[in-house]
Amino acid sequence: MVLAGGEGKRLMPLTGDRAKPAVPFGGSYRLIDFVLSNLINAGLRRVCVLTQYKSHSLDRHVTQTWRMPTLLGDYVTPVPAQQRLGPRWYTGSADAIFQSLNLVHDEAPEYVV
H helices within the chain, ranges in order? Answer: 31-41, 56-65, 93-99, 101-107
Query: What are residue 35's phi and psi, to 5 degrees?
Result: -65, -50
Q: Which domains does the chain have, with CATH numbers?
A: 2-107 (3.90.550.10)
pLDDT in tens, 4-58: 987 888 989 988 889 999 999 998 899 999 999 999 999 988 899 999 888 899 9
pLDDT in tens, 66-102: 998 877 788 898 988 765 655 667 778 888 888 888 8
Length of the chain: 113
How many whole angstroms separate alpha carbon 7 and alpha carbon 109? 30
